[in-house]
Amino acid sequence: MDVAHTGSAEQAAPSPATSMEAEVDDEIQRATEHTDASVDVVALGEQLLGTWADVRRTARAFAARPELHDIPGLTLAEQRERVLAQLHILATEGEVNRAFPAEVGGLGDNGGNITAFEELVSASPSLQIKAGVQWGLFGSAVLHLGTEYHHRTFLPDIASLTVPGAFAMTETGHGSDVASIGTTATYDEATREFVINTPFRGAWKDYLGNAGLHGTAATVFAQLITRGVNHGVHCFYVPIRDADLEFLPGIGGEDDGLKGGLNGIDNGRLHFTDVRIPRTNLLNKFGDVDEDGTYSSSIDSPGRRFFTMLGTLVQGRVSLDGAATAASAIGLAIAVTYGNQRRQFTAGSDTDEEVLLDYQRHQRRLIPRLATTYAQTFAHDDFLVKFDSVFGKPEPTDEERQDLETLAAALKPLSTWHALDTLQEAREACGGAGFLAENRLVGLRADLDVYVTFEGDNNVLLQLVAKRLLADFGARFTGAGAGVLARYAVEQAADRAYHGTGLRSLAQAVSDFGSIARSVHGLRETSAQRELLTDRVESMVGSIAARLRPASRLSKTDAAVLFNSQQNELIEAARAHGELLQWESFTRAVDAAGDPGTKQVLVWLRDVFGLGLIEKHLSWYVIHGRLSPRRALAVTAYVDRLISRLRPHAQHLVDAFGYSEAHLRASIANGSEAARQNEAREYVESRRASGVEPVHEKALRSRKHR
């Protein structure tokens, strides 16, 4: 394989526009004829920095420091020691524990803490995640599940990195299903201690950062048993190694070894055999055990208690959403910059080669992903504001916690999946150059791979979102009288009749008759996009709810079978809900843009995102009568023409992300490719001008045939 050859260029110039495309383009022109589209990079960059702009600027300056960066090619041991040393730099600087109380050096700034933390992905994903393990998981468990005693006793050493720690929740046999973990913590009244055990191999704590080598303590999640009663999963502070990093009595483990990415983190496994800890090492904010073994909790329901405890740890998903979005932005900045400089194939000229980004297919590969990254950036800032609001309250309500958890479960899957897709496409768009480690794309792709399955497997998270959507749907009719239900049934029947007979599609076809431009006009309206995206979510949830309605009358086994038959549809509905949230955030950001030229470009970019979602599910919209065939055809044509309009602004749009050369650290994005191309062109032009350039055989043959 010749990885030095760029195999990504499209070998044919864009074909002439069809009559439909020309008409669509005319409509776009009419819609924007009074607007000079342009991008104010500085102003847009400020908007993209979000609510905690100053914190993000400071964090980016910090992440630009060379001593915090990855070095490709290090051995496993060297990577781990480098990242540990970097972690000590973070501890010394104190920025990473901004959310901790002031008495241990924090600022009590939850939103700013996540903002600063997620920017570390530009320096080193391994550093970001190892920091997340130490302060965002291990420390956060003590902060949010413990009480004042635990804060005074444990947090100072956690904040200073005197005690590196592991977050021991996941087990070999249970990952996302935390409620079913096998580790037990049984209270011994005689000694006033909890006894920690992993009774079988599947109960070993697995894939724990800091457990393989560096961790000296862990927050261990286990089934709390006292007086013969299992009170469900609780969290315990457990020392695991001595000062010489040797396991303490009763504790053992294994190193996970080399992984597909994030090899600066020492992931490992832990197991416990009759390990005794003081009763006071139970992190007892939501459940406590008295000296005599009596259990008490401020939350009566075991299920609600469990979800409340886990909900306090939602910040991991918040930070992954932001870090994945940042990684997508970095990948696109590299690929678009390279695509604007690398030339390949003489498509429109006998002498000059074309810039890659001038090829329509190259634009189609990168610009829609750029639109999605913008949507995710704006949605993430809204998410951070919500997170800060909830965690800034001494006692947030259950509804506030549930709303935040649902938002996290909706957005984290979309952004992490998008990061993998974008980094892979960016790599391919850069050809062999993108495959070189020095250009970051393959390393980022490998490091972010696990983002889609940790802090909650993406498909499992979307099921949680779907269940909440179903619950909200059902709540609309809780206690409703017969008249309300009857009206709803009539409305649903009418809706099915209206769409099922194609009346809505027919109305569109009549209104669009003879004019693709009218079809386009109907699609580019903000209200039309909102209606189409919202309608799909609501229709899917309503249909699933109707199919699941018999479950309440079935046995547990049969109800599970019925629910399982709808699992795929549930996940699709949840995904559509998350995409709608992103579209709404993007639309609010468009409205907030001040510069008219920038706003026009953002409108086009938002339309590419919104109509791209509709294009992806065109079959659903046509089958369910939401779009006529003519209007469905116009979707793709309109998106294509919008992308061509955005092409001149692509570089400015990635520049607005604000990542400098110190953040990108890719040789193909630092101007060297442009220098190489200019050198080659100047060389060829000078030879032609001097008459020393050899005559090509094709030219000789052409002369003979004249």
Q: How does pLDDT run across 213-230, given as a tens digit for each residue?
A: 999 999 999 999 999 999
Nearest 5 degrees, angle CA 686-CA 689-CA 690?
85
Nearest 5 degrees, angle CA 485-CA 491-CA 496?
125
- Give the pLDDT band of residue 671 (cuts 50, 70, 90): confident
CB 204, CB 222: distance < 8 Å: no
C-alpha dihedral, 97 to 100 to 104 to 106, nearest 10°: 60
Rounded distance, CA 650 to CA 369, Å? 11
* Residue 317 identity (one-letter amino acid): R
pTM value is: 0.90
Q: What is the mean pLDDT of the chain?
A: 87
- Give the pLDDT band of residue 344 (cuts 50, 70, 90): confident
Q: Is 275 helix (H, G, I), strand (E, B) or coil?
A: strand
Q: How many percent of the chain have pLDDT more than 90?
A: 66
Residue 445 has pLDDT above 90, yes or no: yes
CB 382, CB 321: distance < 8 Å: no
Rounded distance, CA 137 to CA 416, Å? 19
Query: Pick from 150, 117, 121: which is nearest to 136 by CA?
Result: 117
Q: Which residues pair with 167 in a beta bridge?
A: 219
CB 48, CB 657: distance < 8 Å: yes
Residue 650 has pLDDT above 90, yes or no: yes
* φ, ψ of residue 241 in degrees (nearest 5): -135, 155
Q: Is 9 helix (H, G, I), strand (E, B) or coil?
A: coil
Rounded distance, CA 180 to CA 278, Å? 24
> What is the torsional sign of CA 493, 495, 498, 500?
negative
Q: Among 7-11, 113-117, 352-356, 486-490, which range has the highest average pLDDT?
A: 113-117
* Residue 555 identity (one-letter amino acid): S
Mean pLDDT of 289-309: 93
Mean pLDDT of 390-402: 87
* φ, ψ of residue 368 in degrees (nearest 5): -60, -35
